[in-house]
Amino acid sequence: MDKKVFVSAGGSGIGRCIAEAFLKNGDQVFVCDINAESLAQFKQDFPQLHTYSCDLAQPDAIQDMFQQVVHTFGHLDVLVNNTGISGPTVAAEDLNLEDWNAVLNLNLNSTFLMTKLAIPYLKQSIGGSIINLSSIAGRLGYPYRLAYSTSKWGIVGFTKTLSMELGIDNIRVNAILPGAVDGERVQHVLQARADLANISLEQATQNALNNQSLKYFVDPKHIADLCVFLTSESGRSISGQILPIDGDKQYLN
Residues catalogued as catalytic: 148
Q: Give the rounded distance of the alpha carbon of 76 from its chain centre.
A: 18
Which residues are within 8 A (CB) of 18 and not within 5 positions of it... i.e. 6 or more apart?
A: 7, 10, 80, 82, 223, 224, 227
Q: Which backbone phi and psi does 173 adopt, to 5 degrees? A: -135, 125
Nearest of 238, 246, 58, 239 to residue 162 by alpha carbon = 239
Which residues are within 8 A (CB) of 47 and not within 5 positions of it... i.e. 6 or more apart?
A: none
| Strands (E) located in the chain | 4-7, 28-33, 50-53, 78-81, 129-133, 172-178, 242-245
Nearest of 206, 205, 209 to residue 191 by alpha carbon = 205
Greatest CA span in the chain, whole angstroms? 54
Nearest of 183, 196, 188 to residue 223 by alpha carbon = 183
